Chain A
Amino acid sequence: MLYFQTWKLVLILGVCLLGVIFALPNAFSPETVAAWPRYVPKKQISLGLDLRGGSHLLMEVDMGAVEKERLASLVDEMRTQLNQAKIGYTDLRADAGRVSFTVRDLDRMKDVRDIVTKIDPDIDVQIGSSGAVSLIPNVAALQARRIAAVDQSIEIVRRRIDETGTKEPTIQREGDDRILVQLPGVDNPEHVKELLGKTAKMTFQLVDTNASPEDARAGKLPPGDVLLPSDQTQKGQPAQYFVVRRRVMVSGDTLTDAQPTFQNNEPVVSFKFDSTGARRFGDATKENVGKPFAIVLDNKVISAPVIREPILGGSGVISGSFTVQTANDLALLLRAGALPAPLTVLEERTVGPDLGADSIHAGALASIVGVVLVIFFMIIFYGLFGIFADIALFFNLCIMMAALSLLGATLTLPGIAGIALTMGMAVDANVLIYERIREEVRGGRSLISSLQAGFERAFGTILDSHVTTLVAGALMFWLGSGPVKGFAVTLSLGVLTSLFSAILVTRLQIVTWLRQTKPKEIPI
């Protein structure tokens, strides 16, 4: 008891010292810390959005929409291919995650299989007895596609947000098909949400001049055509519609650049194709001079200009009734690329900078008052030993701050509550030890053996009570959404560091005091 091995002594003092050193940057403003010399630790605790202000968006990649679309195009493709191969079929449709139809001539089943394999080898073909065929996308392939779609979405979201100039955004995958976007300092995320809410799938398609939108709306839509609304609807006026060829002339993924600019004092978006796109666009416009084509964005027609002459240079201009803002946005979306699937916002949490500052203030005040109360409490009930406990508490706080800084953990308001709470719980270990010492003294033991017994016997109890709190902390972390996770981190960390400080740091002080003063009795 009276003797600490040298390495233990060095270790305890070292941890305390490192704790103070690494906690120190948090006591200064980021500007001050930035000016410090290079060899000084500078890492500060990063604040959560609820403290620094900002916007948190949880989004889901709507894979259902993508799969539905894929089945619809599979139906189209099958229809074309079966007709070409002159295979008779009935009842071709897509439902419940599969495409089904009935083949009249059972002898041609092998041809059907070949066609399907040619279209997409990842489709399983199930054939029933009476010529019923089901095409089911392969589960593994579907899963791979899903993962790829989320990865790609994350990339596109990142590009779009980077283009808006948001500082230090965090964009990460959450679970299987979700994306968490955190935008510090953004207190009105409307614009970002608007940008992310568009898939921005752009295509150039010919307008079918032989069909009228009125007929099409009445149900007479020629095969191979689609009816698309205009994206410009004036208030009070019925929406304008276009009948457009389903076949895509050129798609937007061949664009290499898009910039907002002006033409005749109107905001427009200029674009450039890559070589493939340029060739296709050139060919298509060469063949269709004098006809209108539609520029389609997310199934809405932005404009439908007439092709006056072949466009061979691989660049062009989109005009519509743009404002400067919408032209900017469209150019940004085209540059960043299309999302593979629509994104839905599941959860939005936005905190303004004022409230964040208020929360820091309230949290800090509550913690300081709490710590001061605990400090006095310990002095009142334990005197000198209470001061030892308070010194250990100070180091506990430093080590905790240092660990939070080094781990790069994010401090949230509940996280601050966790710190305050663990300050109250940290001295529990001291109370258990001191009460045990008192008891041993009362039982007639000598001074040293009472101290020894106090530390030894209280240890098991302390360990037990800490483990149960850690269990709760781990479950919260697992359950965790943002703020609660922050609480789980500080609570668990605080419990762990208090185990070190309340037991070892306190004991070291008591041992040193014993050696220095050689007391006759224990002052508790």
Chain B
Amino acid sequence: MRPLIIIRRIPSINFMGLHKLGFVLSLILTVGSVGLFLTRGLNYGIDFSGGTIIEARSTNGPADLAAMRAQLDGLGLGDVSLQGFGTPNDVLIRLQRQPGDDAAQEKAVQIVKQKLGDSVDYRRTEVVGPKVGGELIRAGTIATILALFAIAFYVWFRFEWQFGVGAMLSTLHDTITTIGLFSLLQIEFNLTTLAAILTIAGYSINDTVVIYDRVRETMKKHRSMEFSELINKSLNETLSRTILTVSTTALAVLSLLIFGGEVLRGFSIAMLWGIVIGTYSSLFIAAPLLYYIRPKRASVAKEASGEPAPSRTS
């Protein structure tokens, strides 16, 4: 049985010709993301900010948000937000973090449940006290930074330090722009989203590794080839696998986005964006960066012959 689609021809796209455009675009995206994060901030879910969410389903027909809002306003619970969630019968009630200690959060839930009574079924109740939220933000930030360094270190260990720098910068770019997207669209940023960002950090590097691998191989094979030509050649030769590997993962994520339900929405959006931006950054950031922080041909070649590379010992 033969494939229905065969990519026979190796493309000849001049990536290096486009790389400055890519750098500018990425710079805009990164600066914009940082700017958005600083000015608009993230729409932190209760995992991080503390507070309460109650997912309720109306027991008689579609939920009347206005009526419920009227019931819940004036309970002295601060800003109560209601939004539809999935089906028309479902409502997501969000309470701010209540002033006071952890017990105050619990009390607020009871007040709401008393007020709404039996008009709704409580499908989900999550209460996170201020203490846990703060700890999770700290642990999340540390984990993300550690991930970036661990990945860079691994690439450095497997290649040369120049590759490690390139990998880290492009992964950083992917992470920052994902956060920027969440700030721009104000999608809830919760623990699952953070898991997505860490996964992106681990996954978006895959194409980069494939490309770097080829750059290294080409460097050994064509010792005198001009460096930008060498990068172009490597990118074009690996383009089909870059696109195909990304497509299979994107298919799985798309299916999660469409069928996975509300709880996984934030996760799926982050993953999808991460996959797309990760591919872009592998092609237009990670590879062209090598042109500027050029790995030494001598050490790459020496490594091939089994001797320790001088750059690693220095």
Known: A431-B241, A487-B195. A352 touches B205 (CB 8 A): no
Compute how far the CA of A187 lies from the CA of B125 in the bound complex, rounded to whole angstroms.
9
Find out whether the CB atom of B195 lies under 8 angstroms from the CB atom of A488.
yes
B188: interface (CB < 8 Å): no
* B contact residues around A468 at 8 Å (CB): 151, 154-155, 202-203, 205-206, 209
Compute how far the CA of A354 lies from the CA of B109 in the bound complex, rounded to whole angstroms.
20
Q: Mark B103-137, 1 if CB is under 8 A from A, else 0.
A: 10010011000000000011111111101100010
Compute how far the CA of A428 lies from the CA of B213 in the bound complex, rounded to whole angstroms.
16
State the Cβ distance, A411 to closest chain B Cβ, in Å: 14
Given A379-B3, A479-B194, 10 other A-B contacts at CB below 8 A?
A: A344-B101, A346-B128, A348-B125, A349-B127, A350-B122, A367-B255, A425-B248, A425-B252, A471-B154, A488-B195
B29: interface (CB < 8 Å): no
Interface residues, chain B, CB within 8 Å of chain A? 1-6, 47, 55, 57, 101-103, 106, 109-110, 121-129, 131-132, 136, 139-140, 142-143, 146-147, 150-151, 154-155, 158, 191-192, 194-195, 198-199, 201-203, 205-206, 209-210, 213, 237-238, 240-241, 244-245, 247-256, 258-261, 263-264, 267-268, 271
22 contacts between A and B (CB under 8 A): A60-B131, A347-B126, A348-B109, A362-B260, A369-B255, A369-B258, A370-B256, A377-B247, A380-B3, A382-B3, A383-B4, A387-B1, A417-B268, A420-B255, A420-B256, A420-B260, A424-B253, A431-B241, A461-B209, A465-B206, A468-B206, A484-B194
Find out whether the CB atom of B245 lies under 8 angstroms from the CB atom of A431.
yes
Known: A377-B247, A420-B256, A484-B194. A478 touches B129 (CB 8 A): no
Compute how far the CA of A382 lies from the CA of B7 in the bound complex, rounded to whole angstroms.
10
A187 — nearest CB in chain B belongs to which residue? B122
* A contact residues around B205 at 8 Å (CB): 465, 468
A15: interface (CB < 8 Å): no
Known: A424-B248, A475-B150, A483-B192. A439 touches B237 (CB 8 A): yes
Compute how far the CA of A478 lies from the CA of B195 in the bound complex, rounded to whole angstroms.
11
State the Cβ distance, B191 to closest chain A Cβ, in Å: 5
Find out whether the CB atom of A370 lies under 8 angstroms from the CB atom of B255.
yes
Chain B CB within 10 Å, residue with most, of A369, A381, A461, A472: A472
Find out whether the CB atom of A435 lies under 8 angstroms from the CB atom of B241.
yes
Find out whether the CB atom of B240 lies under 8 angstroms from the CB atom of A479.
no
Interface residue from A363, A414, A461 paired with B213 (Cβ < 8 Å): A461
* A contact residues around B198 at 8 Å (CB): 472, 475-476, 479
Find out whether the CB atom of A421 lies under 8 angstroms from the CB atom of B256.
yes
* A contact residues around B255 at 8 Å (CB): 366-367, 369-370, 373, 420
State the Cβ distance, A119 to closest chain B Cβ, in Å: 32
Find out whether the CB atom of B241 lies under 8 angstroms from the CB atom of A432.
yes
* B contact residues around A382 at 8 Å (CB): 3
A361 — nearest CB in chain B belongs to which residue? B261
* A contact residues around B191 at 8 Å (CB): 481, 483-484
Find out whether the CB atom of B102 lies under 8 angstroms from the CB atom of A344.
yes
State the Cβ distance, A509 to closest chain B Cβ, in Å: 13
Interface residue from B139, B142, B250, B260 paired with A417 (Cβ < 8 Å): B260
Find out whether the CB atom of A374 lies under 8 angstroms from the CB atom of B248.
yes
Compute how far the CA of A171 lies from the CA of B195 in the bound complex, rounded to whole angstroms.
26
A448: interface (CB < 8 Å): no
Find out whether the CB atom of A346 lies under 8 angstroms from the CB atom of B259.
no
Compute how far the CA of A279 lies from the CA of B127 in the bound complex, rounded to whole angstroms.
47
Find out whether the CB atom of A473 lies under 8 angstroms from the CB atom of B202.
yes
State the Cβ distance, B155 to closest chain A Cβ, in Å: 8
8 A-B pairs with least C-beta separation: A424-B252, A472-B202, A362-B261, A370-B255, A465-B206, A366-B259, A424-B249, A370-B252
Chain B CB within 10 Å, residue with most, of A188, A374, A420: A420
* A contact residues around B209 at 8 Å (CB): 461, 464-465, 468
Compute how far the CA of A359 lies from the CA of B264 in the bound complex, rounded to whole angstroms.
9
* B contact residues around A421 at 8 Å (CB): 199, 249, 252-253, 256, 271
A345: interface (CB < 8 Å): yes
Known: A383-B2, A428-B248. A461 touches B210 (CB 8 A): yes
Known: A351-B123, A365-B259, A431-B241. A479 touches B143 (CB 8 A): yes
Compute how far the CA of A144 lies from the CA of B209 in the bound complex, rounded to whole angstroms.
50
State the Cβ distance, A63 to closest chain B Cβ, in Å: 14
* B contact residues around A449 at 8 Å (CB): none
Interface residues, chain A, CB within 8 Å of chain B? 50, 58, 60, 187-188, 190, 193, 344-352, 354-355, 358-359, 362-363, 365-367, 369-371, 373-374, 377-387, 413-414, 417, 420-421, 423-425, 427-428, 431-432, 435, 439, 460-461, 464-465, 467-473, 475-476, 478-479, 481, 483-484, 487-488, 491, 523-524
Find out whether the CB atom of A347 lies under 8 angstroms from the CB atom of B259.
no
Compute how far the CA of A465 lies from the CA of B203 in the bound complex, rounded to whole angstroms.
7
State the Cβ distance, A345 to closest chain B Cβ, in Å: 6
B261 — nearest CB in chain A belongs to which residue? A362
Find out whether the CB atom of B3 lies under 8 angstroms from the CB atom of A386.
yes
A354 — nearest CB in chain B belongs to which residue? B123
Find out whether the CB atom of A363 lies under 8 angstroms from the CB atom of B261.
yes
Find out whether the CB atom of A414 lies under 8 angstroms from the CB atom of B264.
yes
State the Cβ distance, A222 to closest chain B Cβ, in Å: 33
* A contact residues around B271 at 8 Å (CB): 421
Find out whether the CB atom of B251 lies under 8 angstroms from the CB atom of A424.
yes
* B contact residues around A358 at 8 Å (CB): 261
Known: A381-B5, A475-B147. A469 touches B248 (CB 8 A): no
A349 — nearest CB in chain B belongs to which residue? B126
A193 — nearest CB in chain B belongs to which residue? B106
Compute how far the CA of A453 lies from the CA of B155 in the bound complex, rounded to whole angstroms.
23
Find out whether the CB atom of A346 lies under 8 angstroms from the CB atom of B102.
yes
State the Cβ distance, B2 to closest chain A Cβ, in Å: 5
Compute how far the CA of A193 lies from the CA of B271 in the bound complex, rounded to whole angstroms.
37
Chain A CB within 10 Å, residue with most, of B106, B155, B194, B250: B106
* A contact residues around B248 at 8 Å (CB): 374, 377-378, 424-425, 427-428, 431
Find out whether the CB atom of B132 lies under 8 angstroms from the CB atom of A58.
yes
Known: A420-B252, A439-B237, A472-B202. A348 touches B126 (CB 8 A): yes
Find out whether the CB atom of A469 lies under 8 angstroms from the CB atom of B147.
no
Find out whether the CB atom of B252 lies under 8 angstroms from the CB atom of A479.
no
Find out whether the CB atom of A347 lies under 8 angstroms from the CB atom of B127.
yes
Known: A349-B125, A432-B241, A465-B205. A413 touches B154 (CB 8 A): no
State the Cβ distance, B164 to closest chain A Cβ, in Å: 12
State the Cβ distance, A320 to closest chain B Cβ, in Å: 24
A478 — nearest CB in chain B belongs to which residue? B143
* A contact residues around B55 at 8 Å (CB): 355
B259 — nearest CB in chain A belongs to which residue? A366
Find out whether the CB atom of A471 lies under 8 angstroms from the CB atom of B202.
yes
* B contact residues around A383 at 8 Å (CB): 1-4
Interface residue from B140, B192, B206, B237 paired with A469 (Cβ < 8 Å): B206
Find out whether the CB atom of A369 lies under 8 angstroms from the CB atom of B241.
no
Compute how far the CA of A461 lies from the CA of B150 in the bound complex, rounded to whole angstroms.
17
* A contact residues around B260 at 8 Å (CB): 362-363, 366, 417, 420
